[in-house]
Structure 1
């Protein structure tokens, strides 16, 4: 594979996120202090993680006494990881491919935490830069931060959270054997694995994660944990930390955890639902600075635009559908309008389309509704008395194989376009769309979402808003990886697809 000269070309739109000499110095000083504290707590190594285009969390680790050097100068890694497939085979695109080139991983110190589930280890999400300090155009966390800043320039912020679903197997071998026998959502499943679930909750709390709830799910051996909302980059960081914590606790109990969108061909899969709410920047009634703030002068990866964050939830208190404001409706409509293209990021595997089927609460139709679990977008208002803070929209058609940073960046870009164009939502749907006849669905504008990865990739490549927001390198690389997986699993049965994907994410 020959690597194109385009591979190392920096994205001019990411210039504000480059590393300067003064920033390197500040990062080194802060890392030195952090390393001393971690050593005193018995931490010996830090796992620097990023999520690749296939949705797999990759890592390089450093001893704690090398954290200062890693923060200042980074840790070397190849750009080729962006074109790894789920089986670790490698494809090539116009921008990424081949053995040459080098990137530098820099830990996000603000999000570095000791991992209670892995004693002696800490975890930090990593940002990827070229050797000259320019931001790598495929670094999804930087792309997400840029989208957050773009919204902030318009006076808006977003709160986000991921639901994490996983299925627990008895472990040993490649097959799946449910670790509990109780009914869906049943207390029996809690009783069967009470010690395990207790340890999951304890490890998450000790790692700084605020859990809202944990419960058994529908499929055999399946559970779900919900966490509280935070800024988008923080929500993606937390999603990775939760998954790796759950994985570690599961292994400690002699079990195995699968986050695959289709663990077994004949059962429902694991979703990775995203909850989003749009907030007005600044004090109620105030206006925000019309330029993006907190980019070049803040520490890379730190909280963007943290001063004067929004205090008014646009998903409630308005005169639109179910009390949404006009802005909240437009933001939601922007996402709904681009769902077929968004699935190339949010439902990124061949197995995703074994999950994304009607009447399975997966949201297989491009529609929205109030508390409708069969709609791709579910409006959640919350209980009376807390709606001003709780109201949000849930994106149900996405799954746990998605790169959470890239998915949120794409969702925010779609919502931002909806705001800019003043999009309005169609009529809500209050039934299972699959129960309606084709003629009625057509009359109501309810279209099925793509039924295959190939369909979503075609929509993704043709979408001008996502192309403009994410950049040519992302569009080309995502498409190349998706087509690589399609070719890899061409002709495979649903059972073979599930088996190939089961333990990869």
Structure 2
């Protein structure tokens, strides 16, 4: 029988469904916020979709994480009537779903006119530009996430307050915790193997109930697929264990935020050697890596909304909590936004440490990769690296990051580089979606405001 990870073509996809005698398969795609949307599809419908594509209501590109409709988007809305958008199946994305007997999952992405605003297609266009420039991009993402001894119902009954963490206290890299809860850790590791997002490292982080997982390196598109599936199915696995997982950037003011760091390198397409490694250069940094780093540094303020896409993202970007506050870089310096990791031809890379766990993996990777490529094409040079505590050093004004989601959206709209990298349609649509998110927040009256103003003001 055909292994799901051996599926490459529509013919392979048809064969594996027939071999498993499935009446239905699961099909999913990712929206603006990186949330997986999908459905079960009958075998006959799936076979037809393999050849001709299928249609998906484009409202999934026109609503937020609470299914509330954007009122400021041009691509879709009441003015268009929310028509169906064309979608194509990606046969090589086939995965077995461990919890559902022989069930198979296939990823899809928006096609034709809808490609312009599709997150996965946006990353694919950046990858194609890398290849046109003679490079093959490799990436690996790592995520921190908190686990709670709660259910979706109990969390809501508590108003998301006084939630019980899966484990108590601060205990990073704990062998005690991963031994006591070995069954859950093993289930996470097995899930990664079964669904092809293999986990290179898994450990407790600093904070009650927080774990960090590093996903194995792959080509950029595949790495984003792995990350997006990881985030989705860790939540599934947690709930099946009677737990809840969150990838919020900052769920509590008492604990560090949750990162989504991105490791990136380029290899020469014609020979396979590292484009970042130069044994004769300081820190083994080739000219290409320096230019790549310069692009990431210079464009970071303009592309921040792709890395920090929620109001909550900006709760994390404060000094002293392991999150950068300016577009800085350093060599093996974890207080900088960009960390150069010297190594060999195989391991020389950059780590984009600004990223948070709440970002859409496709768009975060598109920003990290696209900005680096832009620097290579422009032959930019980075500023000086920071030494010591980057939080304590005063940086030039042009390296300052936007402090709010609204400001980030305005910087994106005004960015010529963003429009060249991602297209006008994407920039306008995504910026509008972030403006909507900020406006939704401003309609909310917080507990802090009630406590501060209700009686006294």
TM-score bucket (shorter structure): 0.7 to 0.9
* Secondary structure of the structure 1 residue equivalent to 2:346: helix
CA distance in 1, matches of 2:32, 2:188: 27
| Structure 1 gap segments, 5+ residues each | 1-25, 284-310, 498-505
1:177 matched to 2:156: no
Confirm or deny that 1:258 pairs with 2:237.
Answer: no
**Conservation of the 8 A alpha-carbon contact between 1:367 and 1:446:** no
Partner of 1:405: 362
Output the CA distance in 1 between the equivalents of 2:278 and 2:447. 47
- Contact 1:44–1:121 (8 Å) recurs in 2: no
Q: Give the number of equivalent residue pairs.
A: 430
Q: CA RMSD in A?
A: 2.3
CA contact (8 A) 1:333 1:415 kept: yes
Q: Distance in 2 between matches of 1:493 and 1:278?
A: 46
CA distance, structure 1, for counterparts of residue 100 and residue 386 of structure 2: 45
- Which of 378, 392, 400 does residue 421 from structure 1 map onto? 378
* Larger RCO: 1 or 2 (CA < 8 Å, sep 6+): 1
Deviations 1:148-206 (A, max 9, x none): 12111121111011112211000132233201125331223213422111111112112
State yes or no: 1:200 paired with 2:188: yes
Q: State the shift of 1:344 in Å.
A: 0.8
Give yes or no for contact 1:360–1:374 (8 Å, CA) kept in 2: no
Query: Do the aligned residues in 2 keep the contact of 1:183 with 1:189 (CA within 8 Å)?
Result: no
Query: 1:390: which partner in 2?
Result: 347
**1:219 Cα deviation after fit:** 2.5
Match of 1:97 in 2: 77
- The equivalent residue for 1:143 is 122
1:122 match:
104
Alignment correspondent of 1:305: none
TM-score normalised to the size of structure 1?
A: 0.80
- The answer as to 2:368 corresponding to 1:368 is no
Cα distance change on mapping 1:473 and 1:146 into 2, 3 Å: same
Q: 1:68 aligns with which of 24, 47, 60?
A: 47
SS at match of 1:81: helix
Classify 1:495/1:349 alpha carbon distance in 2 versus 1 (closer, same or farther; 3 Å): farther
TM-fit CA distance, 1:123: 2.2
Aligned to 2:16: 34
Closer/same/farther in 2, CA of residues 261 and 121 from structure 1, 3 Å limit:
farther
2:48 match: secondary structure:
helix
1:8 maps to which residue?
none
Mapped to 1, the partners of 2:381 and 2:221 lie a distance apart of 27
2:247 corresponds to 1:247: no
How far off its partner does 1:399 sit? 1.5
For residues 9-48 of structure 1, the C-alpha deviation after alignment (integer angstroms, 9 at most, x for no partner) is xxxxxxxxxxxxxxxxx96534321312343xxx664332
Q: CA deviation at 1:244?
A: 2.5
Residues 318 and 326, structure 1, Cα contact 8 Å, conserved in 2: no
Alignment of 1:321-360 (within 5 A): 321-360=282-321
State the alpha-carbon separation in 1 of the partners of residues 207 and 24 from structure 2: 36
Superimposed CA distance per residue, residues 311-364 of structure 1 (whole angstroms, 9 cap, x where no aligned partner): 211222254441110011101111111101221111100000001111211122
Classify 1:37/1:331 alpha carbon distance in 2 versus 1 (closer, same or farther; 3 Å): farther
Give 1:484's match in structure 2, choosing from 399, 412, 436. 436
Q: Does 1:224 align with 2:212?
A: yes
Pair 1:81-2:42 in alignment: no
Cα distance, 1:135 vs structure 2 = 5.7
**What's the counterpart of residue 5 of structure 1?**
none
Distance in 2, Cα, partners of 1:494 & 1:364: 25
Q: Does 1:452 align with 2:409?
A: no
d(CA) in 2 for partners of 1:192, 1:327: 46
Superposed structure 1 runs of 4+ greater than 6 Å apart? 493-497
Distance 2:361 2:195 in 1: 19
DSSP 3-state at the match of 2:211: strand
Contact 1:45 1:63 (8 Å CA) reproduced: yes
Q: Secondary structure at the match of 1:489?
A: helix
C-alpha displacement of 1:266 = 2.8
Change (3 A) 1:63 1:376: same
Structure 2: how far apart are the matches of 1:240 and 1:123? 13
Query: Shift of the alpha carbon at 1:83?
Result: 2.4
Deviation at 1:491, TM superposition (A): 6.3
Match of 1:15 in 2: none
Distance in 2 between residues matched to 1:211 and 1:38, nearest whole Å: 27
- Secondary structure of the corresponding residue to residue 289 of structure 2: helix
Q: How far off its partner does 1:494 sit?
A: 7.4
Q: Give the whole-Å Cα distance in 2 for the aligned partners of 1:320 and 1:119.
A: 53
